[in-house]
Structure 1
Amino acid sequence: MLEALKALLGAGAPPVEREGEGADIHIAAAVLMVDAASIDGEFGDNERGIVAGILKRHFGLTDDALANLMSLAVGRRDTASDLNRYTLTIKDEFSEAQRVELVELLWEVVYADGQLHAYEANLLRRIAGLLYVSDRERGDARKRVLNRLGVTE
């Protein structure tokens, strides 16, 4: 599944927005991650590093492509009024399994500090709904991340 996700995202290629089609899928995924990392009011170096690490690890980006993507995502997140255009791009381009994988990555972002804030939980619920990821799949993705990170609640 990860290989299919990398192929879909064009691993290693710099993210370039497609003319007339809205946000590119690279940018859409990164904006959602930046939003998840910053919804609690903080997006410092630690959060940036976590998001960058996840993007690089899961999408196989080069350092230059990653820097470009992070810059675009932060800029887009700062000016985004809602997440619908980004979730719509992902919903239209990703398979169901890839959308669940993205939700799992978002859980990894919000649990990076070891705790879940109410705003983060609400955001993940909204994003999962917009991506047509069921509550059960969202919950299962959360449990996998909690187990992987060793976080207990």
Structure 2
Amino acid sequence: MFDAIMKFIGDLSEDDSRPEEFAETDYRLAAAALLVHTAAIDGGISDSEHVRLHDLIKERFKLDDKAADKLIMRAEEADEKAIDLYQFTTRLNRALDDKQRARVVEMMWQVVFADGKVTEFEDNLIWRAADLLHVSREERIALKTRVAAAQGTDE
């Protein structure tokens, strides 16, 4: 029994020492998959969206370029396999508090505004994701307005 507990503790600390390993249960993978889906929902990921996606993931999760690229690659794979948003939002709901979930929605808006325009597909996606993440309509709209103002874009 003691050996099993020590192995469990060792596994936990080993995961912490390898932040570039992104398990299926890692909330960072779920968040990145939502961001990838956001960038691609309007038909493809533009260069400006890709740059913004990379910068957001690198900054938010405190990763170097190589780890950010690996997370994006894993997120693209997860997004391709996904049948809906629920698998990602459920993981985020379990791992993050209200403020952190709102931050994910804000990041989604940052990806959307990277190319200077919001399509109805992007707007609808964020509406659905915010709802699943329990981010209120008012907060979702406030986040959109704040990101648009920061980008110097009309919403």
TM-score (norm 2): 0.84
CA deviations 1:16-61 (Å, max 9, x no partner) are 21xxxx5310110000000000000012444322211111122211
1:63 alignment partner, one of 62, 65, 68: 65
The aligned residue for residue 86 of structure 1 is: 88
CA deviations 1:67-120 (Å, max 9, x no partner) are 210110111111211110110000111010011111111001011111110000
- The answer as to whether partners of 2:49 and 2:112 remain within 8 angstroms in 1 is no
Q: Which ranges of structure 1 fall in alignment gaps of 5 or more residues?
A: 1-9
2:26 alignment partner, one of 24, 27, 33: 24
The aligned residue for residue 149 of structure 1 is: 151
The aligned residue for residue 141 of structure 2 is: 139
The number of residue pairs the alignment matches comes to: 140
The aligned residue for residue 39 of structure 2 is: 37
The aligned residue for residue 13 of structure 1 is: 19
TM-score (norm 1): 0.85
Q: Distance in 2 between matches of 1:49 and 1:34?
A: 12
The aligned residue for residue 6 of structure 1 is: none
Query: What secondary structure does 2:128 align onto?
Result: helix
The aligned residue for residue 7 of structure 1 is: none
Q: Which ranges of structure 2 fall in alignment gaps of 5 or more residues?
A: 1-15
* Residues 148 and 15 (structure 1), Cα distance of their counterparts in 2 relative to 1, 3 Å cut: farther
Query: What secondary structure does 1:115 align onto?
Result: coil
RMSD, aligned α-carbons: 1.8
State percent identity of aligned pairs.
35
Q: Is 2:80 the counterpart of 1:74?
A: no
Aligned AA (2:19): A
- The answer as to whether partners of 2:48 and 2:114 remain within 8 angstroms in 1 is no
